[in-house]
Structure 1
Amino acid sequence: MTGNEQKGIITRFFSHLILPVVKRNPYASRVFEFILDNPLYRGVLILGSGTAVAQLIGIISMLLITRLYTPSDLGVLAVYSSILGIVGTGATFRYEFAYALPKQDEDAANLFGLCLVLLIITTAGFALILLSGRELLIDAFGLDTLERYIWFLLIGFFGMGLYTILNYWAIRQRDYKRITYTKINQGAGGAVCKILLGIVSLGPVGLIIGHIVSQIVGIGTFARAMWRKERENLKAISLSGMKGVAKTYRSFPIFNLPASIVNTMSLQLPPLMLLALYDAQVVGFYALAHMVMVLPVSVISQSMGQAYVGEASKMVREESRELRMFYMRTFRHLSMIAVPLIGIPALCAPFVVPIIFGGAWVEAGWYCWPLALMVIPQFIFSPIGTLSLYGYNHWAFMWNVARVIGIIISFYLSFLLELSVITTIIIYAFVMLVMYIVGFIMNLKAIANFSSEITH
């Protein structure tokens, strides 16, 4: 999608809302023009508008979902999504992360073909593991609460993997409009499924099916668009071509895959750890608190992340010397909005959560205070923490390993000292805060090294 096309989309979409204000306010006019002229913020606005609608649907639907399901039901969903998030990370060996790098569309198409083949192979392998070692997995990790729903993991695994490889192709093409449409459809489809299945009292099954729907809706939209626009390039896919790109971008499975796995583990381990230390009800409270803190601001974070990757990868390919300036400018803008957007709702959460979601969820409100310590730096760092873009996959791996080790140690200390839930979450949040600061410093160093190599 070209810059002029993006401008046209924004102008048409927001004309009735923005133009009356722009005409009366010169400052608003300058802000609007700044967004239109800045590739990053054009992408953010397009992606953010759709993601905002999807997130709004999710927030509104939770008003009903928390009254149709118990905290334990939500805890089962949190455990399911955590396991799926961890195992799904390796579905394509992270080759989709390399989409942005090939200068030739034929090479990118072969990367897509490679990802599709790998997804089929890993899905078959995961099915064999579930078939032959299901009982062992359940006993080893204490997943008794998930035993009845274990086969839903296979459906979610393939669906999530297929959507991911198509979504990353759309990011390469900067097709932000289509990504926006799929986000809205995912939010609406998942919410409707959860509510309808909750009305008929399906319990955790309703939440899990709704979660799967919210991940796979949009696959057809992406696939049709890709075939229509990239038909000739897709015909260039061959076994030799896939072998070639697999070798060229082998650093992604070697370094980025392990880094992605441990990164996902650091984000998905808390529900599993809380289940082991306490029970499914506590996991449910934590899941709602985490949603309250993260969901409203993830619109900006996700949109900034996708747009930053799109623009920064272009700057890397062109060997631009303005990369550090772009990184710091994005960091400052995120920092300016993080504290009020996250801090104020966190302070009010203990008093507002039971009113909004029901008296059964009062404990979730108190979890929001310690979680704010983690969510604020996460909001700032996550969109721009892209060490792999600068060729430092091994740094990302070391950082993520250190983070996982810190999280495991924090929960292990809580186990040894028999600490309360709140204290456990405080320790976990502090570890995450420290690691995000370290990650920011590492990214600055990677960009400095990249700029130095360009100069020489």
Structure 2
Amino acid sequence: MSSGSWIARAVLKVGSGTALGQLAAVLSAPVLARLYAPEAFGTFAAISAAATVVSAFATLRLELAVPLPRETNEAAALARVAVLAVTIASTICAIGVGTYHLFGAEIGGTRYGQELWLLPVLVFLTAMYTLLSQASLRERAYGAIAVRAFAQNGGTAAAQIGLGLASTGPAGLLGGQSIGRLLALAGMAKYSVPYLRGTHAPLGATLGRYRRFPLVLAPSAALNVLGTSIPVLVISQWYGANDAGNLGVAQQVVLLPASLISAAIGQVFVGELTQRLRGHQASSRSLFLRASGALLVPALVLYVGVTLLAEPIIPLVLGNQWVTADDYAVGMAAATALGVVVGPLSYVLIALDSVVAVVIIDVLRVVLVAGAGLAVWALNGPGPTSATAMFATTSALYVVTWLVCLQATRRSDAQHRAR
């Protein structure tokens, strides 16, 4: 079977599972919007964003190293260290939540309730989700990845509705997300659990070869995820839970089709790229451009669709209480479309060891995106305007990132041809 045919079949397999899960999420959105108030979505969005930031470095970024070693026992050694790191990070997070409740503190003027205990749970499950996903990608187990996508999104939607019928607080949204993550882990167990067993690989030597991941890429990952989570955190901090809830719902509506596209093509790209690098093939640039082209067309459709349809459709589907969700959706349309293309493809910078570029981009994202949002707030601008400024800055950084990735693939191919 040709490489192109194999990639197409893999994309179809991953995409079908993701599509089914996303369909369940799309169908659940109007129900959730009526079960939960904007303030509940705002609390959910803030805690979920915090969990995403912490889980990004909880694995010490070793999950990204798992697909790279030629020997399976080395990959298993990296995975076991990552599990230990995740356990420690989740425990520290739980201690932090207990301390918060003990002293009755407030964060940004908001007093969080018992739902905050789900933060360390989400940190653990999200970090394990990323780790097992990379182990499955190493095995090119695209069927398991498809099951993972359906189990996570479909399970989350069903659980959030069920919990919402019993309680309309943010704990229902957070608990549902946790259940979805747990179901996704079960879907990947067959191919990924062997990486968590004992191994005879020399642990010290293996970690030494991949030391850049915990030393450089882990803090860089925290900055990267913080940069993408800044809009929710800034809006929650400075504009309140209601605005944060409208932004959170807008992100859910817009990101559903975006994640469908990027997951199907982007994850196959990661699997194929690492396979070619292990085989020392000088074809990274061609694969990068093909994946970019495959992602660009649906990204443009997404942008046009959100821009034209958000204002009339969102209030009709979600209800009149979501008064600014359509404004937030339009403001994030361009950044989301560019993220569909650039987000999954930016893995080339890690795979090709362009560590300095990764760090520079991540630092710029945090500083510039936060600065744009806070500047609008300082000028007494409304929440949607502040979010639009942050997403416009994100769009510009996505373009720069794509150009840096293209240059990295050119350099890698030249080095392979020179050998």
Give 2:162's aligned residue: 196
Consecutive unaligned residues in structure 1, runs of 5 or more: 4-33
What is the CA distance between 1:37 and its match in structure 2? 4.7
Give 2:55's aligned residue: 88
Relative to structure 2, which stretch is displaced further, 417-426 or 213-222? Answer: 213-222
What is the CA distance between 1:421 and its match in structure 2? 2.0
2:366 is the counterpart of 1:399: no
CA distance in 1, matches of 2:309, 2:387: 18
- The one-letter amino acid paired with 1:424 is S
CA distance in 2, matches of 1:133, 1:366: 34
Does structure 1 retain, via aligned residues, the 8 Å contact 2:108–2:238? no
Work out which of the residue numbers 296, 303, 318 in structure 1 matches 2:257. Answer: 296
Equivalent runs, 1:38-49 vs 2, <5 Å: 38-49=5-16
Give 2:124's aligned residue: 158
Give 1:144's aligned residue: 110
Question: Cα 1:120–1:276, aligned 2, differ >3 Å: closer, same or farther?
Answer: closer
Describe the SS at the equivalent of 2:147: helix
TM-score, normalised with respect to structure 1: 0.86
Give 1:59's aligned residue: 26
Give 2:148's aligned residue: 182
What is the CA distance between 1:443 and its match in structure 2? 0.8
Describe the SS at the equivalent of 2:324: helix
Q: What CA deviation, in whole Å up to 9, does each residue of 1:151-197 have, x standing for no partner?
A: 11111122222232222111110111112112212222221221122
Q: What CA deviation, in whole Å up to 9, does each residue of 1:382-428 have, x standing for no partner?
A: 12112101111221111011011001111221122111223212211
Does structure 2 retain, via aligned residues, the 8 Å contact 1:266–1:403? yes
What is the CA distance between 1:237 and its match in structure 2? 4.7
Work out which of the residue numbers 281, 285, 288 in structure 2 matches 1:327. Answer: 288
Give 1:341's aligned residue: 302
Consecutive unaligned residues in structure 2, runs of 5 or more: none
Equivalent runs, 1:7-18 vs 2, <5 Å: none
CA distance in 1, matches of 2:192, 2:324: 46
Does structure 2 retain, via aligned residues, the 8 Å contact 1:53–1:184? yes
Question: Cα 1:165–1:143, aligned 2, differ >3 Å: closer, same or farther?
Answer: farther
Give 1:116's aligned residue: 83
Give 2:217's aligned residue: 256
CA distance in 2, matches of 1:199, 1:427: 37
Does structure 1 retain, via aligned residues, the 8 Å contact 2:155–2:176? yes
Give 1:106's aligned residue: 73
Q: What CA deviation, in whole Å up to 9, does each residue of 1:294-347 have, x standing for no partner?
A: 211311111212111101111222222221112112212222232123312331
What is the CA distance between 1:283 and its match in structure 2? 0.7
**Count of aligned residue pairs for this structure pair:** 417
Give 1:76's aligned residue: 43
Question: Cα 1:135–1:438, aligned 2, differ >3 Å: closer, same or farther?
Answer: farther
Give 2:410's aligned residue: 448
CA distance in 2, matches of 1:167, 1:137: 37
Describe the SS at the equivalent of 1:320: coil
Does structure 1 retain, via aligned residues, the 8 Å contact 2:372–2:390? yes
Does structure 1 retain, via aligned residues, the 8 Å contact 2:93–2:119? no
Question: Cα 1:405–1:136, aligned 2, differ >3 Å: closer, same or farther?
Answer: farther
What is the CA distance between 1:138 and its match in structure 2? 4.6
What is the CA distance between 1:368 and its match in structure 2? 1.9
2:248 is the counterpart of 1:287: yes
Equivalent runs, 1:355-366 vs 2, <5 Å: 355-366=316-327
CA distance in 2, matches of 1:242, 1:283: 44
Work out which of the residue numbers 315, 340, 344 in structure 1 matches 2:276. Answer: 315
Relative to structure 2, which stretch is displaced further, 243-252 or 144-153? Answer: 144-153
CA distance in 1, matches of 2:299, 2:187: 33
TM-score, normalised with respect to structure 2: 0.93
Give 1:245's aligned residue: 206
Give 2:330's aligned residue: 369
- The one-letter amino acid paired with 1:199 is L
Give 1:420's aligned residue: 382
CA distance in 2, matches of 1:448, 1:134: 52
- The one-letter amino acid paired with 1:169 is A
CA distance in 1, matches of 2:85, 2:203: 11
Give 1:23's aligned residue: none
Does structure 1 retain, via aligned residues, the 8 Å contact 2:223–2:366? yes
Give 2:345's aligned residue: 384
CA distance in 2, matches of 1:220, 1:122: 22
CA distance in 2, matches of 1:249, 1:368: 40
Q: Give the alignment's Cα RMSD to 1 decimal.
A: 2.1
What is the CA distance between 1:145 and its match in structure 2? 4.1
Give 1:219's aligned residue: 185
What is the CA distance between 1:67 and its match in structure 2? 0.8
Q: What percent of counterpart residues are identical? A: 25
